[in-house]
Structure 1
Amino acid sequence: MTADEPSLRVGIDIGGTFTDLSVLDPTGIVAVGKSLTTHGSPAQGVIDALGELLRTHEIHASRIGRLVHGTTLVTNALIERRGARTAMLTTEGFRDVIEMGREHRYDLYDLEIEMPVPLVPRNLRIGVPERILATGQVHVPLDEDRVATVAKEFVAAGVEAVAVCFLHSHMNPEHEQQAREVINDVAPRLRVALSSDINPEVREYERFSTTIANVYVQGVVEDYLAELREGLHTLGVRDAPMIMLSNGGVTAIEVAQRFPIRMLESGPAGGALGAVAFGRRTGDSDLLAFDMGGTTAKLCMIEDAEPLLTHAFEVNRVYKLKPGSGLPVRAPVIDMIEIGAGGGSIARVNSLGLISVGPDSAGSEPGPVCYGQGGDSVTVTDADLVLGLLDSASFLGGRMILDVESSREALRTQIAQPLGITVEDAAWGIHATVNANMADAARVHAIERGRDVDRLPLFVSGGNGPLHGPGVAQALGSPSYIVPPAAGVLSTLGFLAAPPSIDVVRSRYSRLDDSLPRVAEALFGSLEEESAELLESSGVATGDISFARSVEMRFEGQGAEIEVFAPPVTETADWHVELEREFYDAYRRRFGPVAPEGVGVEVLTWRVRATGPDPHQALAFSSTRIADTAVKGRRSAKFGPDTGYQEVNVYDRHLLCPGAEITGPALVEEPESTLVIPPGGHCLVLDDQAIRVELGADKGPTS
């Protein structure tokens, strides 16, 4: 292969505080980078950061053959309400569905409860005469004249986008398609989204909400991706970037522009995929993946070398950990919990006289006090710096010098003095509090899914994951934790380890009887054809596509379903019996050994995941430096509430070769993150350059 052939792969992830980058060739990691996120112009920030990384490492952009990008753009646009002026066209009498929701109070005893505010105000939610029954039969024909009149009224009101959400359109999309044709005729500049395209599933509240959110951010995403594509082309990148989706797959820009709501959790998905990739190499098929960045921390359970998936998500929750307090979205997403606990999370003394951390963050603008950019609220990073766990001179590889004295002063006035404690104890209190918060969230996340996190190894990543992962692991009782190379930018490595993938879905009620195999084969066949077309548009050859089938099932009369992977369809009468057996097994795993007997079972929703070939990307550093010792110096650091500062060795991560061993306490630094090896911990560098730290059996939680 010549030097000019596009052999490099690039991953880029825009986070709330940092933008992460990695460049890989077939042998592994060539370069990584991390820079502060530019919220005012994220696309230009990506171009500038990539350009700087390529110049630093003397890499020409024409060598980039594949670039995968994940971003918080969709999430931020929904939270900040920066989308298009959007209207909703719906069945007459149902315009308040998205405001009534499920009439569920997420806190029964809060008299001043805040409910999520719909993206479309009531005056822009208009009902028109039409009705399709739950069977898919047309009961009342669509009044096309009324649709045309309403579309003109929308234009006069300055509306830019319209969500067409009719009752039971998942069973028969005819009326929604008619409405789109009418709107395109009389108001061709309006962007139109159909709920039967975006989320053809039962439950109108979630379907309407998802469709509105999709079209609300579509213009923002299209403009951003067009700017990014043009900027990359100007930089010298030949091909259009691929986009990371929330389900853990990558897709073409055109698909992402059509379904931007599927990008909602694209960045966090990368961290989980990186955990899967390294877990397969280390033989850890079951893991708890923990990613902590500058703004948030994410936790995800990995089972049998696959992340758990969900198809329901809430964005912009009024209260982060309370289901029902946000806008519902129905889209495939890696199942994880996200809490406001990052390096930039703000610490304070609450009304009970206790230290609390987050969920608000100083972000990158102005950032923690130690950044010296105008931030005046003490943060987790300020505490870690005072504890000696961070080095003021080597942060971001020395490109940003941290002001430790300003951090000490902020800790003294905001935390230590009000509590009557030392600055050092205040710093440890912040460090321990955020660790405990994340451990508690992990337990809740696991319990809600019928799982147990005890004794699971913790896979840590993100700029602050290796720093706080040890405390979280000890609080959870984990036997060990694993830290990959380039942990601070792991999400970008996960992007490059992910195959092209897309999920399609359709709700069709079906009883379990002898006719089910014929129904299943027809439905699955249709979904496979649809998903294959989407993957082929991303450049995947037809022969390289594989399919995974699943269904959502429930007992008759229940209001919720569980997903069951479908066995191969056969024409025998026993197929539905086998499917029912799979359902009972899944039900008992989720809810316990006792399951209802003598109750009918039904299928509500059918799903297909189409996946392209695995990229088989090497994720270790392609070359390592050789030195007489990996020790780069010594530093005084505090590792526990009852210990003073200890002088410990600080190791250069890039000088640790496979087979190297370290006994804690110690610190291991690389430009993007710092790994803490606590007292009693034993570190071993594995063949793929990941580090496994075994925790001493006699060590209790340090938090």
Structure 2
Amino acid sequence: MNAKGQDARRYRIGVDIGGTFTDLVMFDTEARMLVNEKVPTTPDDPSRGVLNGIGLLLQKSGVRAADVDAVIHGTTLVANALIERKGVRTALVTSEGFRDVLQIGREWRYDIYDIGLQPVDSLIERSARFEVRERMGPEGETLAALDERQMEAVAQQLAAGDYEAVAVCFLHAYRFPAHEQRAKAILEKHLPHTTVCISSEVMPELGEYERSATAVCNAYVQPLFRKYIAGLIEGMRGMGIERELFLMQSDGGTVHYTTAMQYPIRLVQSGPAGGVQATALIGRLAGAADVLCFDMGGTTAKACLIEGGEPAVTTDFEVARQARFKKGSGIPLKVPAVDMIEIGSGGGSIARINQMGLIQVGPDSSSAVPGPACYGLGGEDGTVTDADLVLGYLDAKAFLGGDMALDEPAARQALAAGIGKPLGLDDVEAAFGIHETVNETMAQAASIHALEKGRKASDYAMVPIGGAGPVHACHVALKLGIRRVICPLGAGVASAFGFLASPMSFQFVRAEITPLARLEAARVHALVEALEAQGRAMFDAAGMGALKVLVKVSAAMRYVGQGYEVQVPLDDHRTAQGMGARLAQAFENAYRQLYGRTEQGAPLEIVSWRVVVMSETPDITPAAVANLDAGGSALKGRRPVYSVTGRRFVDTPVYDRYRLGTDTDIQGPAIVEERESTVVVPEGARVSVDRWRNLIVDLPLLAGH
């Protein structure tokens, strides 16, 4: 993270808090070597697990805390607080007549056939929503000045109400924030110890409901997040780490902790975003620019299409869905996030029989405590991990490199009680039913995700990450017709690795509806220059002012009259000539890719501008090997492993991942084990190792694909 000329230190640490484990990766910038660690997550105080993991990583590596250059962190704290409704007591101040925006929402039914459908619950009860007289018009005209006397009265009510945070969202403040800014000043005068968030600072986007929800969510979690970060920094300083803490955002960029504390809502998807960044790098190293990221951890599984080495970023995201996989059942957030989709359950997801008498996996998880039944920590419900153990995919004595023994009898008992006995199956059949249910669900969801983008999953290579990803990857890939699976070393801690591979960046948004025919290139240039200056100021404040700064500009565009936009990149904002024509052509290309057609002659308009101010991507490419021979035989032994195609146990060779050289040529079936994950290679597949130590699995083409 240091710019040239600063006192460079050798080690950079990435930390990702998951639902079950906290993953850590340390990169030696001189030796180009990676060291991994994995410790149980501590749900009561996540920072305790982070500090324990960093301490263990440094101790095992013999590295001094003073030699750490930076810590880059991703956390589920924000998402969990929203999902579990465990934020602080928050109020909303809004324009007169708009008190019920959060309840009215979009007036959509996310499931039109569910007569018992429950609307999305607001984070703020109606009694905590306050109105004030003010009104700005859509063109900036003051229709009603802010009633400061009424605003003062509301502030006094809030001061007496024991609120820890207040969100402010006024009509048209995304373009004209003066009333919000004045309201913030009044609130801070009366509530000096209360968090105040205004929508024009959090995310100045068009859409009253989405902007209100985003501002409220930011306020709802900000005091918790600030307390967490303050404690983590104090702990790091106590260990002797003197350098700064950086946080991973949902769009794949990192920011200084001071910026993260202002906009914690931008970190809601930080862990998965790190995994996507890692996958993009791994794909490029392996010579595959178009890859499908398959991220399966302890709680969920996610998928993301990466084209040309770059993941797409969206600004329409939902959190805390009441109905899993159903768009519209969650809280909408207008924050930039890597465009990925939740496609299934994780290793700790609980398997049960549903109302139709079928196996259902998730959405609830055994988490880190008590964990799957095989952890021996008191869990009594069968999970995906229990099923994988019974099927022979996992070794009870080799889990986490032998640091954590698994209880196979407990797993069998849990599967028999929850699945086997109700369905008349033995424990192996119950385990296979769970495994197949999870794989089929994930394959279908990933296929639909690709089709919605006008793509076929079979045209991509798959890169599995997460602790459970490599276990299920080949079986899911076979269902999708994918021919190549690229399994990186340390897949179980890939998200933490991805944090280290992410540039420092921040995305600015300015909503401004403009017909393309009336586009003024000079105005665009001035807007971009102003936002770039803000970004540079953020770099300076973080002590990163000497870094080279890159700027990416895009416009959210649509046909006039449409309700949805398409993100269109602007190749060069400094070149005024032909700017409108270039944007029109880029829009048509993007629109045709999504929908297969365009509306010839229909007028276009720009809804908002996005400016990303970013550093160059850090070079954390590990040292390549020309001809790796780790020494000794890689074959560890053999064990019975359940064959998905043969529906029987097959005597299968088990290999030590760390002893596989670049001359590797293995015919499936096979099991390849490393500390953080296990690769299950099906029958008919061939395995090789590239110079970056990626395991390349070439799969047979099944009938029907």
With the shorter chain as reference, the TM-score category is over 0.9
- Which deviates the most, 640-649 or 141-150? 640-649
1:448 to 435, 449, 452: 452
- The answer as to whether partners of 1:90 and 1:127 remain within 8 angstroms in 2 is yes
2:387 partner letter: A
CA–CA distance in structure 1, aligned partners of residues 320 and 506 of structure 2? 25
What is the match of residue 76 of structure 1? Answer: 80
1:6 partner letter: R
SS of 1:510's equivalent in the other structure is strand
What is the match of residue 120 of structure 1? Answer: 124
What is the match of residue 691 of structure 1? Answer: 695
Shift of 1:339: 4.1
1:362–1:515: structure 2 CA closer, same or farther, 3 Å change rule? closer
- The answer as to whether partners of 1:620 and 1:689 remain within 8 angstroms in 2 is no
What is the match of residue 38 of structure 2? Answer: 34
CA–CA distance in structure 2, aligned partners of residues 195 and 684 of structure 1? 52
What is the match of residue 601 of structure 1? Answer: 604
- The answer as to whether partners of 2:23 and 2:496 remain within 8 angstroms in 1 is yes
- 4+ long deviations beyond 6 Å: 621-625
1:502 partner letter: F
2:120 partner letter: P
CA–CA distance in structure 2, aligned partners of residues 347 and 574 of structure 1? 58
Shift of 1:660: 1.6
Shift of 1:452: 2.1
SS of 2:273's equivalent in the other structure is helix
TM-score by length of 1: 0.96
Shift of 1:143: 0.7
What is the match of residue 138 of structure 1? Answer: 142
What is the match of residue 24 of structure 1? Answer: 27
1:566–1:699: structure 2 CA closer, same or farther, 3 Å change rule? same
1:54 to 51, 58, 78: 58
What is the match of residue 282 of structure 1? Answer: 286
Shift of 1:153: 0.4
1:603 partner letter: I
CA–CA distance in structure 2, aligned partners of residues 602 and 373 of structure 1? 58
> Does 2:639 align with 1:657?
no
- The answer as to whether partners of 1:340 and 1:360 remain within 8 angstroms in 2 is no
Shift of 1:270: 0.9
What is the match of residue 271 of structure 1? Answer: 275
| Superposition CA RMSD, Å | 1.8
CA–CA distance in structure 1, aligned partners of residues 697 and 500 of structure 2? 26
What is the match of residue 617 of structure 1? Answer: 620
Measured against aligned partners, the alpha-carbon deviations of 1:443-472 in whole angstroms (never above 9, x if no partner) come to 222222332212311110110000000111
SS of 1:513's equivalent in the other structure is helix
Measured against aligned partners, the alpha-carbon deviations of 1:445-504 in whole angstroms (never above 9, x if no partner) come to 222233221231111011000000011100110011111011110111111111111110
> Does 2:436 align with 1:432?
yes
CA–CA distance in structure 2, aligned partners of residues 626 and 523 of structure 1? 56
CA–CA distance in structure 1, aligned partners of residues 11 and 194 of structure 2? 40
2:115 partner letter: L
What is the match of residue 314 of structure 2? Answer: 310
TM-score by length of 2: 0.96
- The answer as to whether partners of 1:502 and 1:535 remain within 8 angstroms in 2 is no
Q: Which runs of 5+ in 1 are unaligned?
A: none
1:386–1:442: structure 2 CA closer, same or farther, 3 Å change rule? same
Measured against aligned partners, the alpha-carbon deviations of 1:663-693 in whole angstroms (never above 9, x if no partner) come to 1111110111001111011111010011110
What is the match of residue 408 of structure 1? Answer: 412
- The answer as to whether partners of 2:536 and 2:545 remain within 8 angstroms in 1 is no
CA–CA distance in structure 2, aligned partners of residues 336 and 588 of structure 1? 21
1:67 partner letter: V
> Does 2:156 align with 1:152?
yes
Shift of 1:160: 1.2
- The answer as to whether partners of 2:78 and 2:268 remain within 8 angstroms in 1 is yes
- The answer as to whether partners of 1:252 and 1:538 remain within 8 angstroms in 2 is yes
What is the match of residue 522 of structure 1? Answer: 526
CA–CA distance in structure 2, aligned partners of residues 570 and 524 of structure 1? 9
2:605 partner letter: E
Measured against aligned partners, the alpha-carbon deviations of 1:509-553 in whole angstroms (never above 9, x if no partner) come to 111236521221122222222222223333333560000100000
- The answer as to whether partners of 2:87 and 2:224 remain within 8 angstroms in 1 is yes
1:12 partner letter: V
CA–CA distance in structure 1, aligned partners of residues 499 and 571 of structure 2? 30
What is the match of residue 536 of structure 1? Answer: 540
- The answer as to whether partners of 1:633 and 1:649 remain within 8 angstroms in 2 is yes
What is the match of residue 242 of structure 2? Answer: 238
Shift of 1:570: 6.0
1:335 to 339, 342, 349: 339
Shift of 1:155: 1.4
CA–CA distance in structure 2, aligned partners of residues 679 and 233 of structure 1? 51
- The answer as to whether partners of 2:481 and 2:701 remain within 8 angstroms in 1 is no
CA–CA distance in structure 2, aligned partners of residues 115 and 502 of structure 1? 33
1:523 partner letter: L
What is the match of residue 224 of structure 1? Answer: 228
> Does 2:423 align with 1:419?
yes
1:477 partner letter: G
1:118–1:252: structure 2 CA closer, same or farther, 3 Å change rule? same
Shift of 1:650: 0.9
CA–CA distance in structure 2, aligned partners of residues 526 and 9 of structure 1? 32
- The answer as to whether partners of 1:369 and 1:375 remain within 8 angstroms in 2 is yes
1:670 partner letter: E
- Which deviates the most, 520-529 or 31-40? 520-529
- The answer as to whether partners of 1:658 and 1:688 remain within 8 angstroms in 2 is no
Q: Which runs of 5+ in 2 are unaligned?
A: 1-6
SS of 2:167's equivalent in the other structure is strand
1:616 partner letter: D
2:513 to 503, 509, 516: 509
1:492 to 491, 496, 512: 496
2:275 partner letter: G
> Does 2:45 align with 1:45?
no
CA–CA distance in structure 1, aligned partners of residues 262 and 62 of structure 2? 36
Measured against aligned partners, the alpha-carbon deviations of 1:115-163 in whole angstroms (never above 9, x if no partner) come to 1111111111111010000111211000111111101101111111111
What is the match of residue 383 of structure 1? Answer: 387
2:681 partner letter: I
1:6 to 2, 6, 9: 9
- The answer as to whether partners of 2:344 and 2:438 remain within 8 angstroms in 1 is no
Q: Among all aligned residue pairs of Structure 1 and Structure 2, give the percentage whose two residues are the same amino acid.
A: 42
SS of 1:273's equivalent in the other structure is helix
- The answer as to whether partners of 2:159 and 2:190 remain within 8 angstroms in 1 is no
What is the match of residue 550 of structure 1? Answer: 554
What is the match of residue 260 of structure 1? Answer: 264
Measured against aligned partners, the alpha-carbon deviations of 1:313-343 in whole angstroms (never above 9, x if no partner) come to 1000001211110001011100111245111
CA–CA distance in structure 2, aligned partners of residues 215 and 336 of structure 1? 25
CA–CA distance in structure 2, aligned partners of residues 214 and 620 of structure 1? 41
- Which deviates the most, 323-332 or 400-409? 400-409
- The answer as to whether partners of 1:514 and 1:573 remain within 8 angstroms in 2 is no
CA–CA distance in structure 2, aligned partners of residues 358 and 491 of structure 1? 22
What is the match of residue 91 of structure 1? Answer: 95
2:416 partner letter: R
- Which deviates the most, 658-667 or 503-512? 658-667
1:171 to 171, 175, 179: 175
- Which deviates the most, 5-14 or 493-502? 5-14
> Does 2:165 align with 1:161?
yes
CA–CA distance in structure 1, aligned partners of residues 536 and 120 of structure 2? 36
Task: Say how many residue pairs are matched.
Answer: 697
Shift of 1:29: 3.5
Shift of 1:67: 1.1
